[in-house]
Structure 1
């Protein structure tokens, strides 16, 4: 109970910080006499702004992304699932022998279930068939040729989350192998303003190289991957004039653009400015779809000083840009995305009221 209250408090505090910061963006903009016109990336001196580099996720990483049709269509038992077990002619040995009212037995944190006579047996990660064989072998020590039936009473172990421009955003239980296209359909389908170019999936702290445009509009089944436990799918809204400022700033989060405009220095200032650990000469701006973005590297130490002197133009951001202030001289795109993925997920979850309710309801 105490842990739930602490979690609720931190979630509410996080939302208040985001909303307060977004509201004060306009007041935090730097005086215009300290800034001048935006600059084109193709014509900036390399000592100030490195050339735009067309980047893609490291091809050496094995994301194990295969269309669902290429995977075995089986469900594996997980922690929290409720399992029904019966032994033919021996009802006292199955789950009915534990509690007639409850019916099933829950897979515990160690992956095991408890059954009469044979005690605890680990079944997590097994298929129904594998669990049946394992239980039959255990019962064979006491029953001649036991006929065991195993089924799942309720699916509770695996969930995925889909937020943004989808008709029924929320958390969904995985009851059977499900593909990305099926997940979108299960959530009611895309809304008219869904921005597929900027949609993304976060899995195990990484942004997956999924092309939503090719999947949805062109029917490219290569991207119809299997959705697994804890996948986070986010569909942005077209026309939203926001940028993200993440990393070594005092209050990472969303910055609302003013009339479609926001410069780099103002965006960082609106999130409380740099922390003492910020590496200012290696600030990254991630632009475009996250499956194949451009990465702009800015030497912000020199840029901010010259901007205040009126000797250099400040860099203008575009809607959807992600500004990442590192604490090290990070270079590879996959490493950058790995660092920002958990923060993006936290921010976008925090802005969804249903998600807070679901999180609180399922916190034990």
Structure 2
């Protein structure tokens, strides 16, 4: 038992090494390690993006699309490049940035935001001033107004153009599947410059159709790789910012040592941690790192994307802590976990 006691004492001293400071233990010292250093733990959930049923069953034309307009079968009244007999390649009429196409006789006609049936009706009305009961047929030669960007660990990443209303699953399928290096827990849907509250991991791995939202033109689906895993340490440290996780493992003691906690006077009794459980769920924790330093608790393990904040003094509540850390989060917003971006950086 004496040998075992010495071994435990050695392990504790080794675990404490590299942190700010600790009390040297006499050889053979055995300490009772019990309990957790977590003082508070609160789960936070954000509302998932609504999966409202789309009413737009028809494609709505927009700037960049190319339309093939045939008026009474006459090339001189139809889209440029349309010739009789089907012997000539169709060039079509491109919708300009203002949403108009130009045709003989009628000039500029607004077509953006309209379905093909609606455009045909509008053109029949326009040509009726020059032709008796004109007939008009409109087709889409090129889809260019509803881009969808698939970035990261897709087998076929790139820009795609939606030719009909698509769900998130439809959009993911366009990428031809994921690479083995895909980090689905960090995957995100970016809309209007903000991370949308959608859990792609839950959709693909757990089949949660609540996450299968309708996509919009300009959406970006980003799936990062799992190679560069980090946590982020801010507050009363000399080297704030990301701290790498070798082999995906890192303790709070190691992270604080890497960030330079020993060169500051941070309050390590109330270290605050924001943890992402998924894109729509997270935890807010207060950890007493001093318990670990005194050998009363085992080192606290961190997970990828954890936000660690060391206050300079006792912080009254989480609202105050978030206000102090917010500028630092904004500075690294592009590499944060989806939950952190949604909960703390999205505009209300």
TM range (shorter): 0.5 to 0.7
Q: Residue 85 of structure 1 aligns with which residue?
A: 69
1:299-346: per-residue Cα shift (whole Å, max 9, x none)?
xxxx99x9xx99xx9986421335699xxx6899xxx8xx86994289
- Distance in 1 between residues matched to 2:205 and 2:332, nearest whole Å: 28
Q: Which residue is equivalent to 2:196? A: 208
Give yes or no for contact 1:245–1:267 (8 Å, CA) kept in 2.
no
Deviations for 1:213-268, whole angstroms, at most 9, x for unmatched residues? Answer: 44323433332222222222223445752336799x9x998653245327555676
Number of the residue aligned with 2:59: 75
8 Å CA contact retained: 2:275, 2:303: no
The answer to whether residue 210 in structure 2 is matched with residue 222 in structure 1 is yes
SS at match of 1:136: helix
**Which of 79, 83, 105 in structure 1 is aligned with 2:93?**
105
2:277 is equivalent to residue 294 of structure 1: no
Q: Label 1:286 to 1:123 Cα distance change in 2 as closer, same or farther (>3 A).
A: farther
Residue 131 of structure 1: aligned partner = 119
Aligned residues: 283
State the TM-score, normalized to the length of structure 2.
0.62
Q: Report the Cα offset of residue 87 of structure 1.
A: 0.3
SS in 2 for 1:215: helix
1:321 paired with 2:306, answer: yes
Q: 1:210 to 1:285 in 2, by over 3 A?
A: same
Match of 2:41 in 1: 52
Q: Is the 8 A contact 1:199 1:289 kept in 2?
A: no
Instruction: Show the counterpart of 2:244.
Output: 256
> In the alignment, what sits opposite 1:274?
none
Instruction: Report the structure number with the largest CA radius of gyration.
Output: 2
1:32 is matched with which residue? Answer: 18
2:54 pairs with 1:65? no
Shift of 1:185: 2.0
Aligned position for 1:344: 334
8 Å CA contact 1:160, 1:172 repeated in 2 = yes
Please report the RMSD computed on the Cα atoms of aligned residues, expressed in angstroms. 4.8
Unaligned ranges ≥5, structure 1: 1-30, 46-50, 270-280, 349-364
Distance 1:254 1:92 in 2: 64
Write the distance in 2 (CA, Å) between the matches of 1:252 and 1:230: 34
The two structures have a TM-score, normalised by structure 1, of: 0.60
Matched, 1:174 2:152: no
Q: 1:85 to 1:193 in 2, by over 3 A?
A: same
For the 8 Å contact 2:38–2:285, the answer to whether it is kept is: no
Structure 2, unpaired ranges of 5+? 1-16, 24-33, 261-269, 311-318, 339-348
